[in-house]
Amino acid sequence: MTGSPPSRASILLASCVGTSIEWYDYYIFGSASALVFGSLFYPSFSPVAGTLAAFGTFAVGFIARPLGGAVIGHFGDRIGRKSMLVLTLMLAGLSTFLIGLLPTYATIGVAAPLLLVLLRLLQGFGVGGEWGGAVLVATEHASPRQRAVYGSFAQFGVPIGVLTSNLVFLLASQLPPASFQSWGWRIPFLLSVVLLGVGMLVRRKLDESPDFRRVKENNRVSKLPFGTLLREQPGTLVLASIAAIAPPAVGYTVMVYMLNYGTAVAGFARTTLLTLLLLSAVLWIVMIYFAALWADRWGSKRVYVVGALTAVAWAFPLFALINTRNLFAAAVAFFVAAVVQAIMAGAQGALFTELFSTRLRFTGASVAYQLGGLVGGAVGPLVSTALFGAFHSSVPLALYLALICAASLGAALLLRPVSLPGREKAVAEVELPGLASEREPT
């Protein structure tokens, strides 16, 4: 490679900007699912069934994400991180823009929900490879003592996506109800084309990660990364996938399901809940950075375990505070949930980088993260809606959230990150190729 190495700022900006845009795309779909998709694309259903159908369409994106993680991860481990980051941004951005142009059921009938599902699949496929690539392009440029902080910039994309998507929806919801229902909901989707241009400009200037270049120069690239991963590190993949459930389980309970529960059951105004989401997202961003600092100091696994433990502990208070119908109590519920997510997010990038060998890392980190998202994020709103419909109580909802977060806690405790981080690990694999699988994990 010629030229000077990329600056720290350019690496972190490329990692953060892309994930922010892609999660903006992803979360506006979640907000629209809770607020308008049920009536616009599934109008012949009952209100509860329409909500379930809208959340089901939302869940389709999660089904595509592990597939996207495996396919994009395959090429990310074969040809490089940079090119895949550009591809994921294009897939998610263009599909989101097209959703904003999509006719509703009243215009084209059953073709409307079918096209919505198709575009959601494409969106989810692109997002499936985004997180792993964005984390790795940052952490693989970092020194071992700064890996969590570098990785945290990719994690900023999640709350920034929440912040920007809900801000746009909050502004759009100021329109008269009829206008918002008719065309106002489209504005957040159409704006994604502008963000797509910005993200493409930033990422095209990015250089390949030094760790991947080293693997390629030493002819260590795996021909079939996913197959090699299943052969060499199956236990790590399973445990990492279970450990990855808790963050989206908490996040999507608050960001997606609570928009519906908080308005329909607790009686809060939609704009009130969107405002709380905006404020909690700011706290979320700040706390991710502090959690990353703690992870670099005390270890990524230790901090992640603490975050998973707080997720279990906060499940029942979260719903209890919302049920008070008191604004201050609801704010506490949202803000503490943001801190809970931030603790895990700050450590997760470094932890998942440390779990897999460099030549399998894009595939391993992406698939594990997206499988966790499928269970924690896609299933959560559906199960919560069904449980409340059956029991008309928040207790089963809180119990479900606590149990799946407890599963993540147990898996995180069993994870064993590799002993040689970052570039030291890559060098060790080249020097001792016969021991590579034995060192993952130690």
71 inside domain: yes
Tokens found for residue 170: 């909050």
2 inside domain: no
- Tens digits of per-residue pLDDT, 282-328? 999 999 999 999 999 999 999 999 999 999 999 999 999 999 999 99
1 inside domain: no
366 inside domain: yes
- Tens digits of per-residue pLDDT, 393-438? 999 999 999 999 999 999 999 999 874 444 444 434 443 343 333 3
- Tens digits of per-residue pLDDT, 139-171? 888 877 888 999 888 888 888 887 888 788 778
CATH of the domain at 38: 1.20.1250.20
Q: Are 98 and 45 in contact (CB under 8 A)?
A: no
Domain count, the chain: 1
Please tell me the distance from the alpha carbon of residue 264 to that of residue 332, in angstroms, as a whole number.
20
Query: For residue 434, what pLDDT is reported?
Result: 37
Q: Is the pLDDT of residue 440 over 70?
A: no
256 inside domain: yes
Task: Note down the domain range covering 253.
Answer: 8-439
Query: For residue 49, what pLDDT is reported?
Result: 64
362 inside domain: yes
Q: Is the pLDDT of residue 250 over 90?
A: yes
Query: For residue 424, what pLDDT is reported?
Result: 43
- Tens digits of per-residue pLDDT, 8-61? 777 787 778 778 877 787 778 777 876 777 778 877 666 666 666 766 676 677
Query: For residue 58, what pLDDT is reported?
Result: 66
- Tens digits of per-residue pLDDT, 177-195? 888 888 888 988 998 888 7
Q: Name the residue among 214, 149, 158 with its Cα closest to residue 361.
A: 214
The CA–CA distances, whole Å, from 204 to 3, 133, 149, 160, 369 equal 15, 14, 23, 21, 25
**Highest averaged pLDDT of the listed ranges 92-96, 117-121, 160-164, 228-232:** 228-232
Query: For residue 55, what pLDDT is reported?
Result: 66
- Tens digits of per-residue pLDDT, 344-389? 999 999 999 999 988 899 999 999 999 998 888 878 777 888 898 8
Averaged pLDDT for residues 132-137: 86
Q: Three-class SS of residue 70?
A: helix
Query: For residue 419, what pLDDT is reported?
Result: 43
* Buried/exposed 325-336: b ≥16 CB within 10 Å, e otherwise: eeeeebbbbbbb
Please tell me the distance from the alpha carbon of residue 332 to that of residue 144, in angstroms, as a whole number.
36
DSSP 4: P
- Tens digits of per-residue pLDDT, 259-286? 788 888 888 987 888 889 889 989 999 9
Please tell me the distance from the alpha carbon of residue 383 to that of residue 55, in angstroms, as a whole number.
10
88 inside domain: yes
Tokens found for residue 262: 């908080």
3 inside domain: no
Please tell me the distance from the alpha carbon of residue 323 to that of residue 301, in angstroms, as a whole number.
34
